[in-house]
Amino acid sequence: MTTGAASGEGRFLRRPAVGGLPRSRASNQAPGEHRIDAAGADHLLLAGVADCNLRELASLFGVQVVLRGDGLLLAGPPGPVAGAARVAAHMIELARLGKPFGTPDVARFASALADDAGPAAQEDDERLRIAVPGAGRVVVPRSDGQRAYLQAMEESDVVVGIGPAGTGKTYLAVARAVSDLFRKRVRRIVLARPAVEAGENLGFLPGDLQEKVDPYLRPLYDALEDMMPPARIRRGIADRAIEIAPLAYMRGRTLSGAFVILDEAQNATAAQMKMFLTRLGADSRVVITGDKTQIDLPPAQTSGLVQIEDVLGGVQGIEFVYMDAGDVARHRLVAEIVKAYEAAGQREAVAAPLPPADPE
């Protein structure tokens, strides 16, 4: 099985054709060929579904990749082979530890290792491996930023996760909340979100009040449904063990024994943020997530997420965790899109005219 074009695009062979990798007449070792021991690695985790991980590795570096027995063989120009070997070694170590990863992770490994800031492959602290009983799987951090984020949730009562789209801010927080609910560390989960339109005026929505706000809360339902069976979610909502509501519904309440998540907090006003944080009751934990580059509030209103960085930055028990494009866990293009927008923003800031000097 081969993929790639004659233009030099990376090729992948899981079971090589007759003759295997190209050989030099003068030597039994092909130029630029490298073999890495993969003994003990889970081949399914290493290769991915339909060999997607190895295909991604081959495409990123323009090399040939062969998984044969307990060895991973790489062939191509010496430079790309050396780069691919570093990423492949990290992939093999993760597969030995039983840690799942996908094609976006392979691309992130390649980027991080190219910057000589590759992720450590040591076994994560057991506390950071979130068992999700309803999903029948374990959620693990896939970057240093995600690792710091989960560590903060273990150690602090209030955690503020700030970073671009796709870094797992909401997903990991919901996973932690569901795990704590199943382990009876909390009695309920409260998920809140500001009901703010993303740059559009949708007008009057049909239906009753719940039907009107449901579109704004849909991302929270999506994250929850990935962690729990639908019947368990319905039962939890009926028993009030799970609550998903607009941020405005939090006023006047005291949230005790709860894991509370405020998502899209960049769209909470300063007054709403103060109101939300003062709802914290006994034995409760709060996670606030947001992306400061996607604020949809009117220009005259101050984002509560931006404000609390200055107001609460030195308060003990409140921890801020910052993630960047290197922590993006969605499609690999999402990280490139985030970087491109960041670069554009920096260029605009440099090009912006300076304000006129005050007359003396």
CA distance 209 to 199: 22
pTM greater than 0.85 = no
* Paired tokens of 221: 């339902």
**DSSP codes of every residue in 71-113:** EEEEES-HHHHHHHHHHHHHHHHHHHHT----HHHHHHHHHHH
Of residues 288, 223, 219, the one with CA closest to residue 250: 288
Residue 213 has a pLDDT of 60
Residues lower than pLDDT 70 in the chain? 1-31, 115-127, 133-137, 196-216, 330-332, 334-335, 338, 349-360
Burial of 266 (0-12, 13-18, 19+ CB in 10 A): buried
Residue 19 has a pLDDT of 37
